[in-house]
Amino acid sequence: MSADKPRLIRSVRLLAAAEKRIEAEFLAPPSPATPLNTAAILKLAHEFQPTAILVTHHAPLKGQDIAALPDCVKLVATVSVGLDHLDVPALLARGIAVSNTPDVLTDCNADLTMMLIIAACRRAAEYYTLMKKGWGHTLGMDEMLGHRVTGKTLGIIGMGRIGQAVARRAHGFEMNVLYHNRRQLDPAQEEGATYYANLEDMLPKCNILSLHLPAAPNGQPIMTARTLGLLPRGSVLVNAARGALIDETALIDALRSGQLAGAGLDVYRNEPNPDPRILALPNVFMTPHVGSATVETRTAMCMLALDNVAALVAGTPLPSPVTA
């Protein structure tokens, strides 16, 4: 490798196409066999003196971590849309640029959301469990009945890129779509959905509710015992955004009482070790935080992160900068 290539380090092994690009265009240490934590990435940064650091949530950089970065680091490129693991203002204050990977994972996250909606409504977890046990008896007409998705009213909290993509998909199921957002979108962005400025006015109208917003900085959930209680009895809750958006004790109570017929969850407050009480519930369809987990999307995320590094080195605008 040529010594005049830009230097970078990464906290995780990237996809094969991205690793091949790193080998061709950058000077970098070997790909880590397992994800590096914050302490390990800081140690490597001081040893290798990179211009850029690629990270994911495995290696959060906040507070004193940022103060500990060597002066050579000019960019922190996160291979994600979410920024919960980075103190962006502190990085920018040190003169370190920040980039993320928006847009490229919108479709896969929306696809997963639809999977969670259908699976939760149609009791997929319970059907799968029954089949793995061997089935063994004919179901009666009134046994293990789910709920039809077609024609239901879907409420979306957070009508950004992913929320809009979910709304588009929901129309394929002839769903009536409502949304709550910090502001009403232009009609061209609403995807035919109806805006509710007041969340409490929207919730009683939702057969299915899907969350698509960042976690609050203070960690307070938006779905609590009170807000869950505003949903119609027997509704379904889906979360492919952030685990902190839900009070999980209130969620468990709602699922046990029948206030919620089911839930579809890709994210949890304590990852990768979700509350065992949630894991034990039969009426929850769960996936392990895999909204972007396709070959196409993860490759595009890695490449966009590297595009930002290449732009920084070239002195051209970053393709996807994060600003304060």
Residues with a known catalytic role: 242, 271, 289
Residue 214: CB atoms within 10 Å: 15
Contact between residue 305 and residue 284 where contact means Cβ atoms under 8 Å apart:
no
Q: Which two tokens stand for residue 40?
A: 């390990």
Length of the chain: 324
What would you measure as the largest C-alpha separation in the chain, in angstroms?
Answer: 71
The amino acid present at 82, given as its one-letter code, is: G
DSSP 7: B
For the stretch 252-256, contacts whose Cβ atoms lie closer than 8 Å and that sit 24 or more positions apart, written own/partner, are: 252/277, 252/278, 252/281, 253/225, 254/225, 254/228, 254/229, 255/281, 255/283, 255/284, 256/281
**Which residues does 209 contact at the CB level (< 8 Å), separation at least 6?**
154, 155, 156, 157, 203, 223, 231, 235, 236, 237, 238
Coil, helix or strand at residue 48: helix
Which candidate, 299, 301, 321, places its Cα nearest to that of 75? 321
Q: 53 has which bridge partners?
A: 9, 76
Residue 116 has φ and ψ, to the nearest 5°, of: -65, -40
DSSP 32: P
**Cα–Cα distance, 93 to 97 (Å, whole number):** 9
Whether the bond into 319 is cis, omega within 30 of 0: no
